[in-house]
């Protein structure tokens, strides 16, 4: 570690500042004695703030000292303050200023040491600066506007950034902007694909069927009731006829059972003889058809009732009205409300 890291740059500068020539310091004119004293005081203050960890205040002090008297040690300490604050790009720029300044062979030793420190720290800093590469999916690059922390950047071209959180935005004409928050650590090589493709079109909302009016409801009831009445009455009539036919067949079978000498009007089993089995099946079928006929007539009757309900006109509810009547009497006055509510 160089001696400038251990000793106050203001003290080193104080030993050489008076001897610094305009050429050695690369200044257009000699600083005044007052400017030198002010610069030394600011540098001392900056050094104390830097050692106390107050890097933002230290940076301000070193910049103010540089404004009074130009000296490479001030820029080096300002760069180190930026490093501590995570502003690596700004620190690199300050180191570069020190390196770009030509120093004469007679320049103060503190200036030469500052330039040597800047060269070493500039090289070490380069590897710490993170980069971010932004790719754009399914969108031509010439139609995209990318910004990183408000600054325009080009897609598919890595950019150097300070470590920390950044805001990336992408805009395509005619589409809403897309914004992402990105955090990069030191030495990171960030890569992100920004999807700016338009979202799929949303299906139009389904329209609900309008509420049925009174006439529509009555029409529906009339049609439904008419169908139920027709089907029920026709089915009931058909099944009644079939049941009556089976009843006639059952009566004939009973007469045959009564006239059979072997049975003598009595069937000991529905399975034997065959005549008894036939009689039992006929009677069962007759009762089943009668039940179906009854249910059919019930459905038909319900349909008839629905038709009648749909055809009957019902008076509309009377509209409410109100009347305000003033009342005045001996020693009193007021209003009365009359009407239908």
Q: Note the Cα 211 to chain centre separation in Å.
A: 34
Average pLDDT of the segment spanning 268-274: 61
pLDDT in tens, 300-309: 788 777 768 7
Q: What is the pLDDT of residue 263?
A: 64
Q: Over range 48-53, report the average pLDDT.
A: 97
In tens, the pLDDT along 176-227 reads 889 999 999 999 999 998 887 776 667 677 676 565 566 777 778 778 877 8
18 pLDDT tier (thresholds 50, 70, 90): very low
Q: Who has greater pLDDT, 250 or 65?
A: 65
pLDDT (average), residues 253-265: 70
Whether the predicted pLDDT of 239 surpasses 70:
yes
pTM above 0.75?
no
């Amino acid at each position: 570690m160089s001696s400038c890291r251990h000793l106050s740059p203001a003290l080193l500068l104080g030993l050489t500042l008076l001897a610094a020539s305009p050429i050695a310091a690369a200044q257009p004119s000699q600083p005044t004695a007052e400017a030198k004293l002010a610069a030394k005081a600011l540098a001392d203050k900056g050094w104390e703030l830097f050692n106390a960890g107050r890097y933002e205040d230290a940076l301000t002090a070193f910049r103010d000292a540089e404004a009074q008297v130009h000296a490479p040690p001030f820029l080096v300490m300002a760069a180190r303050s930026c490093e501590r604050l995570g502003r690596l790009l700004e620190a690199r720029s300050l180191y570069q200023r020190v390196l770009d300044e030509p120093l004469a062979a007679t320049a103060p030793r503190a200036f030469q040491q500052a330039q040597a420190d800047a060269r070493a720290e500039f090289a070490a800093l380069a590897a710490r600066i993170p980069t971010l590469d932004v790719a754009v999916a399914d969108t031509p690059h010439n139609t995209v506007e990318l910004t990183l922390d408000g600054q325009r950047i080009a897609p598919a071209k890595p950019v150097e950034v300070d470590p920390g959180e950044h805001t990336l935005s992408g805009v395509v004409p005619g589409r809403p902007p897309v914004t992402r928050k990105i955090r990069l650590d030191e030495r990171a090589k960030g890569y992100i694909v920004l999807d700016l493709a338009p979202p799929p079109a949303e299906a139009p909302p389904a329209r609900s069927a309008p509420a049925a009016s009174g006439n529509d409801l009555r029409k529906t009831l009339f049609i439904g009731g008419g169908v139920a009445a027709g089907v029920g009455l026709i089915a009931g009539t058909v099944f009644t006829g079939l049941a009556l036919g089976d009843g006639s067949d059952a009566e004939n079978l009973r007469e045959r059972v009564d006239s059979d000498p072997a049975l003598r009007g009595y069937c000991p089993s529905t399975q034997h003889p065959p005549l008894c089995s036939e009689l039992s099946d006929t009677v069962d079928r007759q009762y089943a058809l009668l039940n179906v006929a009854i249910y059919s007539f019930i459905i038909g009757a319900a349909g008839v009732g629905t038709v009648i309900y749909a055809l009957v006109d019902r008076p509309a509810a009377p509209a409410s009205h109100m009347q305000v009547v003033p009342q005045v009497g001996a020693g009193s006055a007021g209003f009365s409300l009359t009407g239908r509510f």
